[in-house]
Every structure is written in C-alpha cells, then in structure tokens.
Structure 1
C-alpha cells in the first residue's frame, strides 16, 4: 500500500462513522473508489479486501457506492477483485458471508441480496435484484418490483453469468459460464444455459 491507501485504510478502520467495526477490518488497495452516504453502514464482522490482484502499473478501479440508509454486511472474510462494482441503493441491504468476487463483476442491490459463505464468483458476473427502471400499467401500478436474491453457501458462479431478481440458489451448486438465472436453482446441482436449467444433480465440488 502507498501512503494514500494507508491513510484511507486508517480513516475507515478507525474514524469513519459509516463503519461498525466488530471483528474485521477494511483492507483497501490502490484505486479503490468508495462513495458512502453519511447514513450508510458497513458492519464488519470479518476482513473485507477491496481491489485485490491488480497488475503492476494497472489503474483498474474497484467501485463501492452506498446510498442513503444502505447496509453492507461482511459476515465472512471477503475479497473483491479489481475492476468490480458494488452499488447498494437507498434502504437496501447486501450481505457477504465469505469468499470472493473476481474482476469486472457487478452487484447492484436495490432490495436485499445475500451471498453465502464460500462464494466463488468468477469474472464478469452480474447480480441484480431489480430492473432499476419501473414498468407501469395503465393505472400506474409497478409491474416489475424488485425481489430479493439469496445465493447459498459454497456456490460457484461461472464467468459471464447473470443472476436476476427473485432467485434462490441452493448450497453447493454450480452455475455454468454465460448462464442467465431467472428462477430458483436447487442445492448440489449444475445449472447452465439461457435461461439456466439443471443439467446434473447430486454433485459436490471443491
């Protein structure tokens, strides 16, 4: 870490009112861009690594934006690799239970997203719990409300996959590269395709 990174880490680990420091610390590496509303909260129960694995002389950024009353829970040691983006919108909550997100992935949380312990999330993955634009009927009712996403423990999400709102992925499952997941996936299976379908059951991976 350079001096700027050390000062940023000191601020968030010692002084920031956004951070509830329990058992963890924020490990902030170069080119981390942090944009927190004064009412947003990060609950650190384990260490949170931000913008890991950048290449030498790289200027790749990692971006975290927490809007009004947003909550980010770090319940297990979690690593966020370079080029990734996390946005938690007003009154929404995002929970990481341990694991990592590889480079150039995006999480946009406008309701509630839970990612369980042992998450292995590959490059260029998108996880959304809403559409971020409202579709209305003739009476002004919203037709596409946001819905929570729950990703279980020890789930492997392959490169380029998209996880959409209202989805539950069971413990120990694998989502094949390039899949679009728009419905629930049971535990201990492999699902792949667009839309993703179960192609093998009763599997284990390590």
Structure 2
C-alpha cells in the first residue's frame, strides 16, 4: 500500500493508493508542517497508532475532524468546566491540604483572572458557586483564535486534568510536564504521603503521565 503526503494550501494532506485520506466525509487528514506530516505518515503505517487517541495520528485526526459545530460545542464545554476548575475547588476539611492548595493554586488563578479580566472564586462549598456569572468574553475570544490543533490540545488536556486554567498555562508553555503533573495530583500526593502509595494509583499515575507526554510531544511538533 502506497501512503504519502503532499503540500496543499499551506498545510499537508495524505493519500493512500492515490485516494485522499479523510477523517470525515468533508474533512481530510491534515498536518501543519513537514515534521508533523512525517510523524503522521509513520503512524499511518502502524496499525496500533490508530487506536491510541493521544498518538500523533489520533490527535491529528481529532483536530482535522473539527467543524464549526464541534468547535462551538468544545467552547461551551470549556467555559462550563472553567466554573468548576480543579484549581478552584477547596471544599476539604483538612486545613493543611487547603493551605497547600492556596499556596500552589492561587498564583495561577490570580494570573488567569488578570489576563482575562475574570473574577473566578474558589469553591468552598457545593451549594454556592458564582463563577457561572463571571464575564468570560476575553477568554472566549482567546479560544476562538486557536487553530484546530491548539484547540484539540486545550480540550484534551483540560478534560484529562479537570483544569482549564492550568491547561491554558501549559499551552502557553508557562508550565512544564512535571510541574503540571504535580499540580493536578496535589490532593492525591498529599493523601499518599499519609496513607501510602497503592499499586492501583501508581498505574493511574503512569497512564496520566504517559498521556501528558504524548500531548506535549504533539504540541512540540505542530509548531
């Protein structure tokens, strides 16, 4: 089977036996640059890569499939999830844990609020949450400017981490892999220091760290 790619309209498209590779009826599989295209080509020749949603091919297929309707759906999800962001959640009885979260999370929340002129508040109970009333116009404007590939990273990363705020700083390369992983696992790590590190949690951590590295690799190669 002959698989190759061609430059087209500022990006790259793919062919199998002279037939255009599509991810939907109207959307072809796209690469942003030659380096990205070569990685997709490698994955197209590896059957196992097709089943991994976080491989270069898997993420590229998701990004290439995004149409206006799907983009709007993602924006709605991101805006809604921001109201209940992991970095805002402080509904814990353990004062030591809350103090640690205040120390680690508050600088990101404050910076995010300042950048997008938003007033997001920490969540201290499950009844009162006024974050849905905050003005998110500037943040929505930022999302709308993202191309399909950056939007894919933002969406997938925030879904995995439960933090839109931290995913924004990762996307802007203000947070690295190790720091990101540490921050989204702050509560788990705190509990592990007290009660121990069980094998089941170790497997979960390994999966999330592996996924984070794949997303980071994707980000590096679409630039």
Q: Same fold (TM over 0.5)?
A: no
Higher relative contact order, structure no. (Cα contacts within 8 Å, ≥ 6 residues apart): 2
Query: Of Structure 1 and Structure 2, which has the larger fraction of its residues in strand?
Result: 1
